[in-house]
Structure 1
């Protein structure tokens, strides 16, 4: 169990409204009030069609202009509360590969000047269609394709 962010003073870095803005906002609302998240036993989420999440979020933490410290993955919980606040469960990168999730071309960046940290949020979806290239895309670990 570990903290989502280094502190509560993170701010958007070059923020802009995106097509998937609601997904980023759902995650950030949860992450800023959540102190930690255990790694879920996600095998049941990706093997049962009824439980397959609509998206996943990758949280990358790094020192500003430095090395990556961590990459964590989260999916919306199926146990949503009645007030509309969604929780998230932490999963592994292998879970996303098994579920055939692929990274979309959308991201948000956040910065903490107090701790000199930089955070990047990426959205993953199951079987996204790349309408620009219309090509088959094999799921690979992000460590193989991230630059």
Structure 2
């Protein structure tokens, strides 16, 4: 896979400058031509984000424009490597208590009729003692 996008012609859709612009820029720079080895996270037990302590995670949603969802992938920055990311599973984010921020960017490829949404996630800063169920962690998965 040479790119996470369908091609190099995906352009920002209604671009805006955001507070987290540097995070989006770092991911988009890497996503144009990701290192194949950083995309391989095939271990069944997942990635322990508590050990890696990533400052944020990125969700890349790919779908046909006004059509079905094709993929939903998650990436975290690798510490010590400039503009490098590794792919993780959604369950890794849930276990590490990451929450979606209200910060996203959209991209569109007119050539292939593809639409891409890039979302940011960060570790939820709430106290675990006062933690309650939310959509990321269904109440039926809580052992009391």
TM-score over 0.5 (shorter chain): yes
Q: TM-score normalized by structure 2?
A: 0.80
Aligned counterparts of 1:35 and 1:117: Cα–Cα separation in 2: 23
Tell me the secondary structure at the aligned position of residue 30 of structure 1.
helix
Aligned counterparts of 1:117 and 1:6: Cα–Cα separation in 2: 7
The answer to whether 1:138 aligns with 2:134 is yes
Aligned to 2:15: 15
Q: Is the 8 A contact 1:102 1:126 kept in 2?
A: yes
Q: Is the 8 A contact 1:53 1:76 kept in 2?
A: yes
Q: Which runs of 5+ in 2 are unaligned?
A: 138-144
Deviation of residue 43 (structure 1)?
A: 4.5
Q: Is the 8 A contact 1:104 1:128 kept in 2?
A: no
Aligned counterparts of 1:13 and 1:113: Cα–Cα separation in 2: 11
The answer to whether 1:110 aligns with 2:111 is no
Aligned to 1:144: none
CA RMSD of aligned residues (A): 2.3
User: Higher Cα Rg: structure 1 or 2?
Assistant: 2
Runs of 4+ in 1 over 4 A off after TM superposition: 40-44
Deviation of residue 86 (structure 1)?
A: 1.9
Deviation of residue 3 (structure 1)?
A: 3.9
In the TM superposition, 1:1-147 aligns within 5 A as: 3-34=3-34, 36=36, 37-39=39-41, 41=43, 43=46, 45-48=48-51, 51-80=52-81, 85-128=82-125, 138=134, 140=136
Tell me the secondary structure at the aligned position of residue 27 of structure 2.
helix
Q: Is the 8 A contact 2:47 2:88 kept in 1?
A: no
Deviation of residue 39 (structure 1)?
A: 2.5
Q: TM-score normalized by structure 1?
A: 0.78
